[in-house]
């Protein structure tokens, strides 16, 4: 489609009504889900690495002391929290759609992948791998790491690859739509995207090997989700004002 045709299509689409109160509710619900995921990540990530171990053994050493109870509740919170968080992204989709159906469709694909592979897929299977490693170490310390890596490659890894592809589509469509002005938000609001929030959360690792630091780093992706939904929720009134001015 030519640039002129795309512009005409967007000019027609901008006449669609935006249900601001409904979108606000969707974002609030999504933010609650994102916080649930973060709590689950904290349950799984709270611990101190054994600094006498190097490489992968050191990275996964906290899982040898985590209780089964914490692993279970982390899995439950993630599997429930991810679809609830996805509801919030439907609100963002509804704000992009009146301006660009192209980027809205891409964003919808990303949401579908997020819902399909995020909670019961990646989150739960990652904790299953931690559970497997913990009990393999107790049964056979010599082969535990090798067996656990094989388990992770066979089961969680394919889900990670698929989720990452869908996540990239979600992020790409979000940033492109916002920077091109295909939303009621100011263009600079692209900074309220998941990679920015995840990066900010991931930088916590510079503070060393502490339980709270490790928990935050495990929850970096969840923090990115909270940054995304929370930031756009805070700016929603500004988006509404922009929309009203453009429609006047």
Query: What ranges do the domains of the chain cover?
Result: 18-241
Position 21 scores a pLDDT of 96
How many other CB atoms are found less than 10 A from the CB of residue 53? 13
pTM above threshold 0.75 = yes
Q: Provide the pLDDT for residue 165.
A: 95
Predicted pLDDT at 4: 47
Distance of CA 36 to the CA centre of its chain: 12
**Angle at the Cα of 111 from the Cα atoms of 108 and 116, rounded to 5 degrees:** 125
Mean pLDDT in consecutive groups of 10 residues from the start of the chain, 248 residues: 47 68 97 97 94 90 94 96 95 96 96 90 93 94 94 93 95 97 96 96 93 94 96 96 83
Max CA separation in the chain (angstroms): 71
pLDDT given at position 12: 41
Plot region of 107 (φ>0 → left; ψ -120 to 50 → alpha; else → beta): alpha
Report which of 96, 94, 80 is spatially closest to residue 25, judged by C-alpha positions. 94
Dihedral, CA of residue 127, residue 129, residue 131 and residue 137, to nearest 10: -150
The torsion defined by the Cα of 220, 224, 227 and 229, in degrees rounded to 10, comes to -140
């Amino acid at each position: 489609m030519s640039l002129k045709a795309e512009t005409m299509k967007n000019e027609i689409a901008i006449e669609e009504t935006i249900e601001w109160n409904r979108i606000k509710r969707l974002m609030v619900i999504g933010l609650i889900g994102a916080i649930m995921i973060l709590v689950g990540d904290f349950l799984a990530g709270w611990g101190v690495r054994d600094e006498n171990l190097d490489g992968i053994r050191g990275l996964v050493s906290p899982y040898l002391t985590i209780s089964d109870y914490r692993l279970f509740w982390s899995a439950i919170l993630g599997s429930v929290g991810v679809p609830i968080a996805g509801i919030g992204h439907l609100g963002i989709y509804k704000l992009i759609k009146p301006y660009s159906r192209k980027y809205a469709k891409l964003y919808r694909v990303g949401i579908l992948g997020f819902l399909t592979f995020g909670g019961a897929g990646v989150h739960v299977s990652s904790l299953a791998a931690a559970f497997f490693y913990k009990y393999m170490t107790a049964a056979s310390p010599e082969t535990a790491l090798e067996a656990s890596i094989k388990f992770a490659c066979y089961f969680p890894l394919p889900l990670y690859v698929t989720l990452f592809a869908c996540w990239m589509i979600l992020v790409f469509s979000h940033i492109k739509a916002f920077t091109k002005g295909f939303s009621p938000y100011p263009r600079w609001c692209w900074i309220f995207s998941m990679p920015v929030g995840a990066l900010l959360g991931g930088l916590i690792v510079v503070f060393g090997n502490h339980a709270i630091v490790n928990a935050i780093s495990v929850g970096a992706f969840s923090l990115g989700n909270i940054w995304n939904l929370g930031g756009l929720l805070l700016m929603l009134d500004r988006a509404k004002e922009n929309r009203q001015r453009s429609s006047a």
